[in-house]
């Protein structure tokens, strides 16, 4: 029994050592701009070229993207989420590396080992934070629904506080609830605010296509009111495109509103020119 305990402790120690080495390598890559020689301290004949400079700053960005992709694999995300997460990791890692460089100013240059450790620690914490958030975060460890997925939930009626079990499509995540559009098996062919929704990808066993509301304000469903622990499937692409295109103007994201305003101002300047 004692031999088994010793082997177990040794295995844990080796695992932690390998983990430290791995994240130190990640930190070295992220902190590359702080590890290489400062161009201002080099003679003119040894100044790095454009390609070398691009590599020094581009390689950390690629490394940050890989860390983000590995941490974000538990649920689908839109492209801008990956960009935002990558940018946040790069900024945090460089801030940590800059702080470590100022604190560990040993004359023999030993700070070069402290800088990647700090950047690697930030990368590890960032990775764990993303995993925690995507796996439920404040939702008690239950995976939060993602935009574009079909889930079974207790969806509220529009004209009362009553809720009923329905499939729904997730339009957007909030901190404590999700904004959804309800799916119904009732015939809504006479309604302009409903469209047919194909069964492909989420309800392949049914021959009858349901209807889903469109162009209406999204309903709010608290995460505790989702019945299942995983999605039924993905919303068909054609339906998802129409749901997004016909969202009420008040529900467009702030980023989309800002971009629309920018393009409108650019078009106005072009007409004046």
Residue 229: which of 73, 71, 72, 74 has the closest Cα?
74
Look-up: residue for tokens 């622990």? 229
Please give the Cα distance from 73 to 184 (Å, whole number).
31
Tell me which DSSP letter residue 146 carries: -
- Asked whether the predicted pLDDT for residue 43 surpasses 90, the reply is no
pLDDT 10s digits, 107-153: 555 555 788 889 999 999 999 999 988 887 777 667 788 899 999 99
Percent of the chain with pLDDT over 90: 46
Please give the Cα distance from 41 to 47 (Å, whole number).
9
- Asked whether the predicted pLDDT for residue 252 surpasses 60, the reply is no
Number of domains making up the chain: 2
Domain assignment present for residue 144? The answer is no
Instruction: Please give the structure tokens belonging to residue 211.
Output: 């209807």
Residue 178 or residue 268, greater confidence = 178
Give the rounded distance of the alpha carbon of 112 from its chain centre.
31
Q: Of 102, 134, 166, which residue is a domain's last? A: 134
Q: Helix 79-103 and helix 111-134: axis angle, to 10°?
A: 150
Domain assignment present for residue 211? The answer is yes
Question: How high is the mean pLDDT of the chain?
Answer: 83
Tell me: do 42 and 115 sit in the same domain: yes
- For residue 88, the enclosing domain spans 2-134
Name the pLDDT band for 250 (thresholds 50, 70, 90).
low
Tell me: do 106 and 208 sit in the same domain: no
Tell me: do 7 and 129 sit in the same domain: yes
Q: Residue 191's domain is classified under what CATH number?
A: 2.30.30
Tell me: do 53 and 116 sit in the same domain: yes
Residue 3: what pLDDT? Answer: 52
Contact partners, residue 154, CB within 8 Å, separation at least 6: 163, 164, 165, 166, 221, 225, 226, 227
Domain assignment present for residue 141? The answer is no
Tell me: do 47 and 76 sit in the same domain: yes
- Complete DSSP assignment for 225-258: GB-SSS-SEEPPHHHHHHHHHT--GGGS-HHHHH
CB 74 within 8 A of CB 131: yes
Tell me: do 69 and 160 sit in the same domain: no
Give the rounded distance of the alpha carbon of 249 from its chain centre.
24
Give the bridge partners for 156, in sequence order. 163
CB 97 within 8 A of CB 106: no
Domain assignment present for residue 261? The answer is yes
In this structure, the number of other CB atoms found within 10 A of the CB of residue 66 comes to 13
Domain assignment present for residue 271? The answer is no
Give the bridge partners for 212, in sequence order. 183, 195
Tell me: do 112 and 224 sit in the same domain: no
Q: Of 134, 169, 200, which residue is a domain's last? A: 134
Tell me: do 122 and 175 sit in the same domain: no
Q: What are phi and psi of 130, to 5 degrees?
A: -65, -45
Domain assignment present for residue 16? The answer is yes
pLDDT 10s digits, 9-28: 777 778 877 888 888 899 98
Look-up: residue for tokens 């914490």? 125
Q: Of 111, 134, 157, which residue is a domain's last? A: 134
Tell me: do 176 and 249 sit in the same domain: yes
- Complete DSSP assignment for 111-140: HHHHHHHHHHHHHHHHHHHHHHHHTTTTTT
Instruction: Please give the structure tokens belonging to residue 201.
Output: 């990808």
Tell me: do 130 and 202 sit in the same domain: no
Name the pLDDT band for 178 (thresholds 50, 70, 90).
very high
* Widest distance between CA atoms in the chain: 85
Does this model's pTM top 0.85? no
Tell me: do 17 and 40 sit in the same domain: yes
Give the bridge partners for 211, in sequence order. 184, 196
Residue 28: which of 141, 140, 120 has the closest Cα?
120
Residue 69: what pLDDT? Answer: 94
Domain assignment present for residue 38? The answer is yes
Domain assignment present for residue 273? The answer is no
Tell me: do 162 and 108 sit in the same domain: no
C-alpha dist (Å) from residue 6 to 13, 17, 18, 20, 218: 10, 16, 18, 21, 57
């Amino acid at each position: 029994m004692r031999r088994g305990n010793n082997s177990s402790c040794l295995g844990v120690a080796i695992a932690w050592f390998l983990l430290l080495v791995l994240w130190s390598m990640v930190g070295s890559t992220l902190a590359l701009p702080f590890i290489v020689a400062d161009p201002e301290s080099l003679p003119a004949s040894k100044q790095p070229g454009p390609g070398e400079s691009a590599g020094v700053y581009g390689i950390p960005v690629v490394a940050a993207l890989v860390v983000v992709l590995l941490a974000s694999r538990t649920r689908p995300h839109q492209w801008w989420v990956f960009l935002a997460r990558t940018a946040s990791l790069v900024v945090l890692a460089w801030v940590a590396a800059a702080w470590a460089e100022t604190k560990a100013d040993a004359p023999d240059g030993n700070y070069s080992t402290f800088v990647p450790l700090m950047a690697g620690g930030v990368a590890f914490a960032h990775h764990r934070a993303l995993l925690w958030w995507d796996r439920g975060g404040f939702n008690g460890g239950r995976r939060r629904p993602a935009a574009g997925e079909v889930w079974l939930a207790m969806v509220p009626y529009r004209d009362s506080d009553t809720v009923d079990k329905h499939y729904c499509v997730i339009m957007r995540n909030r901190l404590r609830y999700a904004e959804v559009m309800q799916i119904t098996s009732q015939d809504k062919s006479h309604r302009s605010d409903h469209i047919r929704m194909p069964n492909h990808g989420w309800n392949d066993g049914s021959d009858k296509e349901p209807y889903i509301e469109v162009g209406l304000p999204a309903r709010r469903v608290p995460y505790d009111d989702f019945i299942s622990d995983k999605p039924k499937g993905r919303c068909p692409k054609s339906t998802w495109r129409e749901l997004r295109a016909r969202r009420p103007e008040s529900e467009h994201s702030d980023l989309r509103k800002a971009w629309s305003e920018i393009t409108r101002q650019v078009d106005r300047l072009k007409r004046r020119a």
